[in-house]
Structure 1
Amino acid sequence: MTTVMKKMSAVEEQAIAAKKAAKSMGLLSAKEKNEALYLMAEALEMNQQFILDANQQDLQEGKNKGYEQAFMDRLALTAERIYEFADGLRTVAELPDPIRDVLSSWKLENGLKVEEVRVPLGVIGMIYEARPNVTVDAAGLALKSGNAIILKGGSSAIHSNKAIVKVLRKAISKTKVPLEAVQFIESTDRDTAKQLFTMKNFIDVLIPRGGASLIQTVVEQATVPVLETGVGNCHIYVDKEADVNKALDIIVNAKTDRPAVCNAVETIIVHCEWLERHKEQLADAAKKAGIILHGDREAIEALPNVLPANEEDWANEYLSLDLAIKTVKNVDEAIEHIEKYGTKHSEAIITEDKMTARKFTALVDAAALYHNASTRFTDGGALGFGAEIGISTQKLHARGPMGLPALTTTKYIMTGNGQIR
């Protein structure tokens, strides 16, 4: 009887190689990993034109396909952005190595020493859309935390991602880091992504990063554990005790700094008394910033040129200069609105009343909460992580911007001298 051997797919071969590389990664010293990160950063800067040329191919194809401006903004690279990628890698290199950190230790009565120690997750599968920066951030964080990573970017950024990975791997080849620790799936066939969903024998965790459709598909179809990142329908509540200058500066920054990112504000919830006192200033600030307001009946009556908002506006992640405005009578109504429409990403309150701020931050369920500050700080780089592999909106095992600690797990190591039970 003849047994027909099933031919191994390219993705399976990559996963097996990554699993082998992950074993070696766990043995590398912090110095060896940091040397690789510094070389990767230098290579990005030295090969920026090669990467920009590839990015132009993606941008031209995106233009031909009629991609929206917000999408094109996430896709576009510049020399400045590539230098930022490199700086991010250097920052990651300078951070303390989390691997082999002893989180807790104690000794039993029989003399057995117990230590809870940080260790790498193993092999990370990263599935993402039109964000070439993710390729760099994910590779850097994975290497520093002792993991291997398999990258699966979207077809819209295929040329950019291939160029970036080629540059990174050439730098890695000069170090003690195994080359197979950073791999990229070049096929744009969706079936290759779905293969990653069920490869539990080789992949320890999947991280999807992109739109709601991509994330939902991975969460629903994967048998590999998923670290779920989320879309950002972020809110800013302007309380009746809000300082007008702080409020306007924060709103304009959170909406206009980079409208197409997940930590940009999409809805402002305004106390009706504050709106009545400062409606002219709010209208003027929105007009100067080019913000298009979509509001409820009270907002339409108070402000000029406000489009009527519907249910879709309250739930929408605009990723543009559109901004919904909801009026409320108190902080409880603001919290209720956020609970109904929020995505547990980033929420802010602007107020000089500390008790109201304390109530808001205690009751609103989100990964990041702000008092008198812009939601734009929900970012690994801005918070000092060097980079982030995504922003988790779930509660296990990581939440918020995921830096190095989020890419580790723990094990207990017991040291004895012949103890038996």
Structure 2
Amino acid sequence: MSHFSAMQKLGCTEILQSLSYSDLFALKDTIATKLANVWTKEEAISVILNCSQSAEELLKRRKIVREAILKYLIRHDVVIKVSADKQQLIGEVLFYWTQKEWKRKELIDQTKHKLEQNVKQEIANAKIKAMAQEVKAAGIELEQARQVQDQLRRQLEEQARQAVEQKRRQAEEQIKRRAEEQVKRELEEQIKRRMQEQMTEQVLDERKKQLEMQMNIHLNVTQYETPSQAGGDFECQIIGEEFCKWFFILLNSQNPSFGRQPEEWGPQHFWDDAILHFAYSVQEDITEQHQSSATVSLRLLSLVKDEQLLFNPNISKNGMKCVTSPHGLVAIAVAGTIHKNTQCLGIFEQLFGLVRTPVGRNNWKIKYVNLQLKALIGQQEINQPSLSIELPALVAHLNELNAFLK
């Protein structure tokens, strides 16, 4: 079953349309060899999309060459490096589609908000119209009452003498004033109630908007105490411990088996050009490299969310080390064990490069990640993990991070 968002489906369709007839049908035969009676490019594209697992899996196919993805990004005014390889271009196009989905959702939310405002305005107009109709009805009733009073006055004039007529007129005027005052008071009370209801609705709407604005504010940086020159290794070790506690609780919370409500994970914790070097060894050694905040965060997320892994870091002196540079850069290395359900699958070593953001005094983001996983096969004994990245090597990584930023 394919998993394509609306923007991914449109983008993949456009890229597939740019392929030649032979390449497109060769790709269709590779993905769905048992499907027959496909004669047009549109039918072939439909089969390819329905039989592909995801947009990333489809774009990695050999028939979709690097130039097709590059031309798509250029057509859509996406700024990229011409020297970027296919994997980097795939990351850029996936991130571009994610941005388009966000903008599409934002536009839908704005349209929905405008519709709600229009409905509220129509309701208010309907209420005003109803009030006007009520006032008009009250005026008709008042006019009818006046006509009845006039008829009564004429009858009394015919039956009474001048003295009785004078009294009657005085009584009539008094009744008339009281009736008008009563109608006026009722209308004033109705208008007052309507105004109070409208003011109450406006206050509630304003509070709702403020609450929504407050709920949409996210602080995507993590604060730590800046290591001082005098604090030395002790303060650096404290920074490393606090960072490791924060990072691995945040990452593990994306795994349902961790038993904790998922916290806010995403590219906001990484620099836009963040790099992930990922190496793992099961039966053979495999190395991956990912760049950009979106792809790095998604690759790390897939380890705990899709592969159901849990990272158990050893933040003691044997398992975690931290160094800093005069420029304020921080390099942290940590080792630990990897678990899945009730099994211990292996060990890991992970190196982080942190760079302070210019906003705020102690806000940091991840610039560089080097993750190595090693599976424990058979009855291999699991000892307390010790960090193979010793301080000289860690300082070398910090110098590398300094050079990377220049």
Normalising to structure 2: TM-score of the pair? 0.21
Greater RCO (Cα-Cα under 8 Å, separation 6 or more): 1
Higher helix share: 2
